[in-house]
Structure 1
Amino acid sequence: MINVILFCGGPSSEHDISLRSALNISNSLDKNKYNTKIVYIDKNGAFSKAFNTIDTKDEFDLVQQTDTNVAGSIADFLSFLKDFDPADTIIIPAIHGTYGEDGTIQGFLDCINFPYIGNGLLSSAICMDKVTSNDIFEKNALSQAKYLYTYREGFDDDFINRCVSEIGLPLIVKPSANGSSVGVSKVENKEELKDAIIEALKYDQKALVEELIDGQEIEIAIIGQGDKLDASVPAAYITDHKFLDYDAKYFDTKTVAQIPYKMEESYKNEAIDFAKECYKAVGCEGFARVDIFYTKNHKFYINEINTFPGFTPTSFFARLAMDMYDESFDFVLDKLIEDGFRRFQ
């Protein structure tokens, strides 16, 4: 029997989505193979006591009482963990965004020498910081939007003028390191740009300003490492929103998920190859969801890579991975767990 310790929650803006992902994982893990314990992490970063899986359909039932002393709560977790053997214990850090997807939790798990599924510290940190990943994509000659960025401390009117003159309008403004399109704005004119940057800087010390790519965002699930990569068909959310924002993804009932996205076979294969190159460029390992733009003249531009995408029943990664292998979600989880042990060993 393999021990699985499932993290959920976390101090990011995607706390609630993490709970939904964790509940789907918990309900899907084969109880004949895995002894699962859940650890809830609150919005301050405090760990709960480990608890057994819950028979519930409400993700908020995973919310547990935590110690106000964050360091003490982590010490309690380490005390709990000392009775487990890394040879038969793996951690699933189902925490999206800050803390879970930026390399923080991966570095912690590396320090205590326990295996976990998904990307390591470096690729997580690179992909979470969109400025850094954009720089790497540029170095590897991978097509992307024109971009500029500013730090909170250096933001001024000169930067606004540079964005308008060097990139042009309209623009997309986003926090450099945040997820699920939180803090993202589309701006049509110079007057809107300042407010959009101020909004983005509420969520991160850096704001990224990008050229608006006129195209459909398509998403591809990738599993593997190096040249041994499995990739799904492209999928897309069809929405009437200005762009695929948080509400469009999770709450707008008019948003339609198209799996697979309707495109010619040759362009589909080109999209998959492009997604793989982007995945490799930033050193991804384990799995990720690669988001790219597909324009009317059949060009591809990398948008971003999510190193621990949503694992909810409606999330693209889970659905695309099941479609890719023509298997149930528990099969996908088995594969990711096996890969986590392999890379640890």
Structure 2
Amino acid sequence: MSGRLRVAVIGGGQNSEHDVSLASAASVRAALDPGRYEAVALTILRDGRWLGPDDQSLGTSEAEGLAAALRVLAGCDVVMPLLHGPRGEDGSLAALCELAGVPYVGAPVRAGALAMDKWATKLVAEAVGVRTVPGELVTETDLPTVVFERPVVVKPIAAGSSFGVRLVETADELEPALRTALELDERVLIEHTAAGREIDVAVLDDPEHGRRVGPPLEILIDDGLFDNTTKYDGNAAFAIPAQLTEAESKALTDSALRVYEALGCRGIARVDFFLTPDGPVLNEVNTMPGMTAESQVPKMFAAEGLTYPHLLDRLIRSALLAGDVQAQGVR
């Protein structure tokens, strides 16, 4: 079949979200319209080696695999870098695509790096008038001075899928939670618990309608924290669209767009909030959220009639438009 666009779909990665990323990549490859797109599979193994189409090894070392992967990318029209977390979503793959001169779906380098860093995200959000949960930055050298004063949430600064996130309700739980988080990141965030509904807003750069948000999603859990276990064990339920007043919906939309633009995001992002009696409070930003058909963002847009294959199509077209604009700017 001629005339199809070759789309490099990259999954895997060298972080705790490896399996989540593989699921996203497999789902995307299966859903891309075969009449318009040829999916080219690339996988980064946990040890940094690369696999190409048909799972063939692209080299015996990270350097050999990277060199071979670049040759594959050179033969593609656009890249879907579906890595979640460090060494992927944090701008690493965006930088690779930038250097290779291949258009790609998702956030550019700076936005990916800023959004992956939960502390930096808080600083940016507060600077543009979006409230965040009070918190402090902690490293291993700070451990002897950390004192339990109230229930808190402990989370690694740059891990995703809620890996290493713990709700700490007693003094005895604090140090073990911090040490667990420090196994995943050298910097850890301690945040006050937030009393509010958990509402997610997806922002899409739609080539047909411009920048817009999808129907908001509310996470419904009986008790506790929306942690990694709850995310993937089927115990969480979602309400789409979340039941909101007109004022609540406007406040969430405005805040999501303000943060998205301040970080410099592009293509797609999921902006997560706590909706408190005093308005939205930012939790975090995901510049490459889970992208299986059953993930939150695809379900949010499906609720208003944008099917999963059509969402992928719009992401690809948006990336190609962004690539054209960038190329013109370079010239």
Same fold (TM over 0.5): yes
State the secondary structure of the residue aligned to 2:150: coil
Letter in 2 for 1:339: S
Q: CA deviation at 1:241?
A: 4.1
TM-score by length of 2: 0.91
> Are the counterparts in 1 of residues 58 and 69 from structure 2 also a CA contact under 8 Å?
no
Q: CA deviation at 1:66?
A: 6.2
Of the candidates 94, 97, 105, which is equivalent to residue 85 of structure 2?
Answer: 97
Return 5+ residue gaps in structure 1 as ranges. 52-62
Number of residue pairs aligned between Structure 1 and Structure 2: 319
- After TM superposition, the structure 1 stretch with the greater mean CA deviation from structure 2, 264-273 or 115-124, is 264-273
> Are the counterparts in 2 of residues 241 and 248 from structure 1 also a CA contact under 8 Å?
no
Map 1:230-309 → 2, pairs under 5 A: 230-251=212-233, 253-295=234-276, 297-309=277-289
Q: Does 1:315 align with 2:288?
A: no
Q: What is the rounded CA distance, in whole Å, between the counterparts of 1:124 and 1:222 in structure 2?
A: 15
Q: List per-residue Cα deviations over 1:11-67 (Å, max 9, x = no partner).
A: 11111111111122111111010111101110112111233xxxxxxxxxxx76564
TM-score by length of 1: 0.88
Q: Does 1:147 align with 2:135?
A: yes
Q: What is the rounded CA distance, in whole Å, between the counterparts of 1:311 and 1:110 in structure 2?
A: 22
Of the candidates 76, 81, 93, which is equivalent to residue 68 of structure 2?
Answer: 76
**Equivalent position of 1:332 in the other structure:** 311
Q: What is the rounded CA distance, in whole Å, between the counterparts of 2:295 and 2:188 in structure 1?
A: 27
State the secondary structure of the residue aligned to 1:156: helix
Q: Does 1:341 align with 2:306?
A: no
Q: What is the rounded CA distance, in whole Å, between the counterparts of 1:289 and 1:111 in structure 2?
A: 26
**Equivalent position of 1:59 in the other structure:** none
> Are the counterparts in 2 of residues 233 and 268 from structure 1 also a CA contact under 8 Å?
no
Letter in 2 for 1:74: L
> Are the counterparts in 2 of residues 267 and 298 from structure 1 also a CA contact under 8 Å?
no
Q: What is the rounded CA distance, in whole Å, between the counterparts of 2:183 and 2:111 in structure 1?
A: 24
**Equivalent position of 1:56 in the other structure:** none
Q: List per-residue Cα deviations over 1:224-265 (Å, max 9, x = no partner).
A: 29x9421012112211241100111111x3321111112223
Could you tell me the percent identity over the aligned residues? 29
Letter in 2 for 1:112: A
Return 5+ residue gaps in structure 2 as ranges. 325-331
Letter in 2 for 1:117: V
State the secondary structure of the residue aligned to 1:155: helix
Letter in 2 for 1:233: P
| RMSD across aligned positions (CA) | 1.8
Of the candidates 132, 144, 159, which is equivalent to residue 157 of structure 1?
Answer: 144
Q: What is the rounded CA distance, in whole Å, between the counterparts of 2:264 and 2:26 in structure 1?
A: 29
> Are the counterparts in 2 of residues 175 and 204 from structure 1 also a CA contact under 8 Å?
yes
Q: Does 1:21 align with 2:24?
A: yes
> Are the counterparts in 1 of residues 58 and 64 from structure 2 also a CA contact under 8 Å?
no
> Are the counterparts in 1 of residues 248 and 279 from structure 2 also a CA contact under 8 Å?
no
State the secondary structure of the residue aligned to 1:285: coil
State the secondary structure of the residue aligned to 2:225: coil
Q: What is the rounded CA distance, in whole Å, between the counterparts of 1:308 and 1:22 in structure 2?
A: 12
